[in-house]
Structure 1
Amino acid sequence: MAERGAHLTTAATAEDNRPSIFEVLAQDSLMSAVKPALQHAVKILATSNPARYGVLWRRFDEIYAILDLLLQHHFLSRTSASFSENFYGLKRVGTDSTRPAHLGLLRKQHWRCLLLLALLPYLHRKLEKVFARQRDEDDFSIRLPQSFTQKLYRAFLAAYPYVCMAWDGWVFCQQLLYVFGKARTHSPLLWLAGVKLSYLTAHDIRTLDLKPSGPTFNPSQSIAEKCQRLISTAVGGVAVSLSTSLSIGVFFLQFLEWWYSSENQSTKSLTSLPTPPPPLHLHSEETSQTHNKICPLCRKVRTNDTALATSGYVFCYKCIYVYVKANHRCPLTGYPSELQHLIKIYTPDG
């Protein structure tokens, strides 16, 4: 049966130099596998030394977005392709299909592609986190006073799953049309950017190999032009270093992403964290019982006792909920924590 359907992915390739559906899906999955692996590496650093590396975990999305922006800008400018597309020998073609790859895309197409490659995934990730926090609030039955803006915000979150479902349906239909040769792109993002994917030609490969990597200075250039060229070269050097390291370790990162997936880590998410030292009890027996009931955040007698699973400390539910939601870490140990790590403590008398 497979050989009878092979023409669906190869017939159009000979006509318009169009890659097969397997190649375009493979390059799509490349960058999606790199981020979780890097995120897990940052989590290990933040867990081992929260004071030094905790900010990397808390600001991972912003740091990754900036690095991804530099990386994609470099490849779009030098190869007319994203990092993953260039890794598979593909390029982006706009209205001018004869434009060499080493010249990059036209300015309007370049910035449109850059925003869709780097900015849109960042916004999607932020919306996913906001939606998850809102779902946690609903699970914990928290109803805070809401203004009109907050009501609109909740209405948007209620419609967000349906927007994601419509987007996934569009992506599936676009890929199906691409398989049967009825669409020139397999992704709505490429369609919105006004480009399509194509193979690198022999001329493109020669020009990319012969393109000088270092800066060439002209004595007649002004100081501003030289500084601009130096900055561009430095940014390009950072992008090249990132791309080289990713190219070397891409399969290793994919292995890490699989190894530390939710299926493999479901039983090791909390036991992998080091056990924090127990608090010191230096008070007398008369005050020890009262002291043990003090919340470390508000310094008052705890109400609605809640333990944080990542550290074992007990707080008032409202105190620890607000703190973890804002800071995503334990207030005493600094261990990375989320709302799902809150465990309410129920006593027989209470």
Structure 2
Amino acid sequence: MEFMSNLGGGSQADRPSLFELIAQDKMREMLEPALRYVIAVYAQRYPRYLIRIVNRYEEFYAVLMFFVERHYLREYGASFAENFYGLKRVRAPRPVKHPKVNIDDDSVATAATASAAAPAAMAQTLLGSNKLREKDIRKSLFFLIGLPYVKCKLDEYYEKISGGEAARLFGDEFVQEEEDLTGQSLAVRSKAMAIKIFKKGYPYVNALYQLSILVHYIGYLYNKTPFYSPWLRLIGIEVKRMSAADYIQQKAKSAPRRPSSSWPETIQNSVLGILSGSLDFLKVLLPMSIFFFKFLEWWYQSDYYRKASAAGDSAEVPPPDRIKPHPDGIPLPREPKICPICLKSITNPTALSSGYVYCYPCAYKQVEDHGRCPVTLMRCGTDDLRKLYNDAGM
């Protein structure tokens, strides 16, 4: 995927397109419902171990992605989704102030030498300063993990106090009624006022939130800003395409380490290698889970699933195999209308679970006394007696 995203040329070959950036954002957003679906399915089979995770899924997902994103930011200088698309994070270049040259004191030759060396020094400074520092990683983690978690909780709380989709469709009938706060304490009234302000103001705050993202999308699309997100502008980080040198460095990091002579260091390196390899394997596992989730979503909404379900509902269940008479049981009469017990015409026909038909009084007494079918010697009780009726209602 990263090689396909490196198509480009000119002086902005390292500048990803807006569609690549939106794609990696959407991929990060699809991870959460895909993982939630997988855990919910397995929680039905193993509720003892997974029901707590399902009940606190937002916190579990935030902690899980914290370790995943921190690993990718430290090892590759990019989030998980950005690294999947061959992107990286770099510190935005900051303007360099040059000292003023005093023509009276300095010679023209010295000024020319300094001006010629300035671009090289500036390039070296930018090259050394564009790598993510620890504080940049912490800021990135906040906007990758913390901000989406807080917004998710705010959205849930707003849906709770505003009535959700039902209130938007059917009006204020589903909105929680305001309590009469007359005579209540100051704390209770302050809390109620804060909830009321939040309920009225949150839609506008959310609109500004979405509008700021849209404005940065448009500005980035028309090359008016190097930041496609307002949060990247706040922390001074740009998203670039990975270069050939980045791929070489990444491959060198993934190369196996030399064995150490000290066994504690060997064990430590092995454990760290397993953990790092497991986190790197998520680059394959998580996109596969997204594909599986989207496939199931498409399947259950398609006509193929409805046709398969209809065919399964209308399929006839084949009858069970006939139980053969036991050698020690009573023999069957030649005529099927004759009761095997009384050897008379069957009256009030009744079948046992073995499938053979008798007169009701004969079958009831036989089962009550012996607890078995007299022909097959199959165990049965009086609850297994089933009366049969013909088309005439007899």
- The match for 1:286 is none
The answer as to 2:92 corresponding to 1:57 is no
CA contact (8 A) 2:58 2:149 kept: yes
Deviation at 1:149, TM superposition (A): 2.8
Counterpart among 22, 31, 34 of residue 31 in structure 2? 34
Q: Partners of 2:266 and 2:202 in 1: how far apart?
A: 48
Q: What residue identity is the alignment partner of 2:224?
A: K
Q: What residue identity is the alignment partner of 1:160?
A: Y
1:161-184 per-residue CA deviation (whole Å, 9 max, x = no partner) reads: 111101111111111011110010
- The match for 2:17 is 20
Q: What residue identity is the alignment partner of 2:25?
A: D
- The match for 1:275 is none
- The match for 1:71 is 68
The answer as to 2:242 corresponding to 1:207 is no
Q: How large is the Cα RMSD of the aligned pairs? A: 3.7
1:126-178 per-residue CA deviation (whole Å, 9 max, x = no partner) reads: 11111111123972534456441342133123211111101111111111011
Counterpart among 132, 140, 152 of residue 105 in structure 1? 132
Deviation at 1:192, TM superposition (A): 1.8
- The match for 2:369 is none
Structure 1 pair 178–249 and aligned structure 2 pair: CA distance change class (3 A): same
Larger of the two Rg values belongs to structure: 2
Q: What residue identity is the alignment partner of 1:81?
A: A
CA contact (8 A) 1:13 1:19 kept: no
Q: Percent identity?
A: 28
Deviation at 1:256, TM superposition (A): 4.2
- The match for 1:115 is 142
Structure 2 counterpart SS, 1:198: strand
Which gives a bigger RCO, structure 1 or 2 (Cα 8 Å, sep 6+)?
A: 1
Normalised to the residue count of structure 1, the TM-score between the two structures is 0.61
Structure 2 counterpart SS, 1:197: strand
Q: Partners of 1:74 and 1:135 in 2: how far apart?
A: 39
Q: Partners of 2:196 and 2:256 in 1: how far apart?
A: 52
CA contact (8 A) 1:27 1:84 kept: yes
The answer as to 2:227 corresponding to 1:185 is yes
Equivalences, count: 251
Structure 1 pair 226–127 and aligned structure 2 pair: CA distance change class (3 A): farther
The answer as to 2:295 corresponding to 1:255 is yes
- The match for 1:319 is none
Deviation at 1:49, TM superposition (A): 5.0
1:202-232 per-residue CA deviation (whole Å, 9 max, x = no partner) reads: 0110010011466779889xx9x99998886
Structure 1 counterpart SS, 2:127: coil
Structure 1 pair 229–122 and aligned structure 2 pair: CA distance change class (3 A): farther
Structure 1 pair 143–134 and aligned structure 2 pair: CA distance change class (3 A): same
Structure 1 pair 229–210 and aligned structure 2 pair: CA distance change class (3 A): closer
Normalised to the residue count of structure 2, the TM-score between the two structures is 0.55
Structure 2 counterpart SS, 1:203: helix
Deviation at 1:50, TM superposition (A): 4.2
Where does structure 1 lack aligned partners over 5 or more consecutive residues? 1-9, 268-350
- The match for 1:141 is 176
Deviation at 1:110, TM superposition (A): 1.1
